[in-house]
Structure 1
Amino acid sequence: MNLILTNIKELVQTETTPRRWVAGADMAQLPTIKNAFLIIRNGLIAEFGTMEEYRQLDSRFYNGIDEMDVSGRMVFPCFADSHTHLVYAGSREQEFVDRIKGKTYEEIAAAGGGILNSAKRLQETSEEELYQSAMIRLHEVINLGTGAIEIKSGYGLTVKDELKILRVVKRLKALNLIEIKATFLGAHAIPKEYQDRKEYIDLIVNEMIPQVAAEGLADYCDVFCDKGFFTPEETDRILKAGLAYGLRPKIHANQLSASGGIQVGVANNAISVDHLEHVGEAEIAALKTSETMPTLLPGAAFFLGLPYQPARKMIEAGLPLALASDYNPGSCPSGSIPLILSLACIKLKMLPEEAINAVTINSAYAMGLEKTHGSIAKGKVGNVFITQEIPSYAYMPYAFGSDTIDKVIIKGKIFREAQPLLNNWFV
């Protein structure tokens, strides 16, 4: 689709020289253009710049393209959410109540709750039911500004049900709404029926991964490497099995303890290591020599009442950081990246510029999409959102809970158009 946006108050995250990511002190730099225009042609960003430059363009460049005057409003590239569990069955609000009463995440999991609870429900749910509920969630997050997303399996924990989840993800991809990356996470937990955990790991390595690869259902292979879940040695074995089938690692690490997950992820060239509530000097040293993106999930820390990730320490050490939602029924039942932006600023003490970089260019890298998503650059996909009339980009994380998005544009076509702030009934 084709579209021209004119009189943009501020065009955010512009890029003229390609970047893989931004790191350290550079994360506080956010390139923008004030009083700007943006042209999307055939679903891709074709041109952008100041309004003065727009008036000097040859009219043949934009003749016949619809123009939208967005005076007073800002334009951002859509968010890239690089860590979600969007395909699941049911909800887990009883566990939410149990935690309020004092039970820990580990205690709930040991009693058959947590991931095993979700797995039981998913095993009892048809592929079609999963698809319909996941499609609703996908539309929800696009309406909140997400323009690319990663979706994991991990609530199946049997060959049949892990494949079922990934087939749902494949069907979501076929909708061609936004770019979707699929991650195989058979190593999310050990099912109760496997008292010999090695037997389940053998199943992952010898049956699940080969079948996932044979059907072309996943881009990445994930493991929950943490206390009470999978050890670094088990994680290493599973990641290497995935690599043998072309599945690059992308893992959960250091959420509940200093698990060694970061180091095993780096050793296997993981595209990202995610969660990272427990990060010390050894973990930072490992990340500094790697091309692995540290990805923080403050929504899960917020919901579970865990310590927040040491974002400032990591940025000051020169690392890049990505942020993602971790949308799932147990530890973060929200796919709102605007909420994650606010949590990053309020709880992780990230500057608005740092947080915006973390949910755009850096999170695009964390799902292998930095060449096509995450910034306003010629040739990148024309997924952007237009804000309400807000005073600055810092207002977005500041006004937590408020809907600051006016329109979401996917590949040059309006996907979501907000209702007027004042309904006619009041006028």
Structure 2
Amino acid sequence: MSALLIKNIKQLVQVREETNEPVRGTKMAELPSIDNAWILVKNGLIEDYGSMDTSPDDPNAVIDATGKLVLPAWCDSHTHLVFADTREEEFVGRIKGLTYEQIAAAGGGILNSAKKLADKSEEELIASANERLNEIMHLGTGAVEIKSGYGLSVDAELKMLRVIKHLKENHPLTIKATFLGAHAIPTEYKQNREEYIRQIIEEMLPVIAKEGLADYIDVFCETNYYTPEETSRILEAGKKHGLKPKIHVNQFTSIGGIQVGVENAAISVDHLEVMTEQDKKDLAARNVIPTVLPSCSFFLGIPYAPARELIAADLPLCLATDYNPGSTPSGNIPFVLSLACLKMKLLPEEAINAVTVNGAFAMELQHELGSITKGKKANLIITKPINSINNIPYSFGSNLIDQVIINGYLQ
């Protein structure tokens, strides 16, 4: 039996006996913790914890965390982490004044990534994605959702999903896979979009279901991408094959995507930078997780989602990175926490709840990850010596993480 004791912890953060519901509304400002604490890990799971006056005898493996905080590892519920290459030339184009939409209209954006991915083998994609997974793991991420969507053809989308499946089976991080074939309309189908939608529904989905390649289905419901009606058809088809809906909505415009998401019982609705009053009302009326992506707003220079209003509406706000080569070339959750506090005016407690408990819920991992709870996976962050959790978002650009434990093992 492998055992690890972390003792003399300055503060053990996000301690919950159970997580049967996401954290919502005013409760998001509450972050239950134990000062001067210990935590015992056995066989990759959280065995027990408490204050130092109840500390058990030392096992063979002990970490002295004097002056340090211990938190559950981050749960990043929205990424596009499998991609062929970076798009720094578009970054320079935006500096010169081009918008995301203008770059996409000229053949850049998602279509650019699709062209680059078509030439890469599964082995090459696995190797580069492994490097990114290792990078985010050492920044404290313990679970991540990865989407397809840079294939945009039957063969290339299936290739992406097989890569993600390989990563799920071989990387220590907990990974959820999302099929996002409806990420853009391929150039060759601009005049016949129905044919590409038919391929998604009739050719891709049956194979995805047969091979068990995805947990979720997603659609980019946005002006110049997929209409609400098309989005609903694709999500409904995915549900028939056992894939639960997620949805990209309201990044640039409000066209009814939120309504499609809630009508299709989406696990989460993601982006939400542009919201009408009706959007907010419709979202508040349903049991759906709003996921906001502040590093995308930062990189593109677009508005930030109204996170404070979503919390005020008693919703369980979630934060994620949107790690991708075009609009968010970073999987750095600590930087996301800083942006959420600085630009969205979240309290540090609210931001941490949004990337731990609520991030786990957005991937249906709430019974495995996201909190310091007995029986959950021992995916843990040990910080450097710091004063409080406030230092994590406060010290933007600094790496305050000392050690990361995944499945009970130091990484």
TM-score, scaled to structure 2: 0.98
CA positional deviation for 1:287: 2.0
Distance in 1 (CA, whole Å) between partners of 2:332 and 2:153 is: 30
Q: 5 Å matches for 1:272-351? A: 272-351=268-347
Distance in 1 (CA, whole Å) between partners of 2:254 and 2:91 is: 25
- Does 1:35 pair with 2:36? yes
CA RMSD of aligned residues (A): 1.0
Contact 1:40 1:47 in 2 (8 A): yes
Aligned counterpart for 2:249 among listed residues 229, 232, 253: 253
Partner of 2:175 in structure 1? Answer: 180
Aligned counterpart for 1:84 among listed residues 76, 79, 90: 79
Q: Could you tell me which runs of 5 or more consecutive residues in structure 1 were left unpaired when the two chains were aligned.
A: 416-427
Contact 1:73 1:390 in 2 (8 A): yes
- Does 1:111 pair with 2:112? no
Q: 5 Å matches for 1:177-256? A: 177-194=172-189, 195-256=191-252
Question: Match for 2:143: what amino acid?
Answer: A
- Does 1:390 pair with 2:386? yes
Distance in 1 (CA, whole Å) between partners of 2:276 and 2:53 is: 49
CA positional deviation for 1:17: 3.3
Deviations 1:292-334 (A, max 9, x none): 1100001111100001111111111111100000000000000
Question: Match for 1:230: what amino acid?
Answer: Y
Match of 1:47, SS state, is strand
Distance in 2 (CA, whole Å) between partners of 1:390 and 1:283 is: 40
Partner of 1:368 in structure 2? Answer: 364
Distance in 2 (CA, whole Å) between partners of 1:259 and 1:67 is: 55
Contact 2:5 2:39 in 1 (8 A): yes
Distance in 2 (CA, whole Å) between partners of 1:17 and 1:174 is: 28
Question: Match for 1:70: what amino acid?
Answer: A
Contact 2:4 2:59 in 1 (8 A): no
CA positional deviation for 1:35: 0.2
Match of 2:188, SS state, is coil
Match of 1:307, SS state, is coil
Number of residues of Structure 1 aligned to a counterpart in Structure 2: 409
Distance in 2 (CA, whole Å) between partners of 1:88 and 1:176 is: 17
Distance in 2 (CA, whole Å) between partners of 1:72 and 1:153 is: 41
CA positional deviation for 1:182: 0.2
Match of 2:144, SS state, is strand
Q: Could you tell me which runs of 5 or more consecutive residues in structure 2 were left unpaired when the two chains were aligned.
A: none
Distance in 1 (CA, whole Å) between partners of 2:399 and 2:164 is: 28
CA positional deviation for 1:209: 1.0
Aligned counterpart for 2:122 among listed residues 124, 127, 133: 127
Range that drifts further, 168-177 or 185-194: 168-177
Partner of 1:23 in structure 2? Answer: 24
Question: Match for 2:80: what amino acid?
Answer: H
CA positional deviation for 1:79: 0.1
Question: Match for 1:80: what amino acid?
Answer: C
The list of structure 1 runs, each at least 4 consecutive aligned residues, that deviate by more than 3 angstroms after superposition, is: none
- Does 1:164 pair with 2:171? no
Partner of 1:410 in structure 2? Answer: 406
Distance in 1 (CA, whole Å) between partners of 2:275 and 2:377 is: 34
CA positional deviation for 1:69: 1.1
Match of 2:251, SS state, is coil
Contact 1:272 1:366 in 2 (8 A): yes
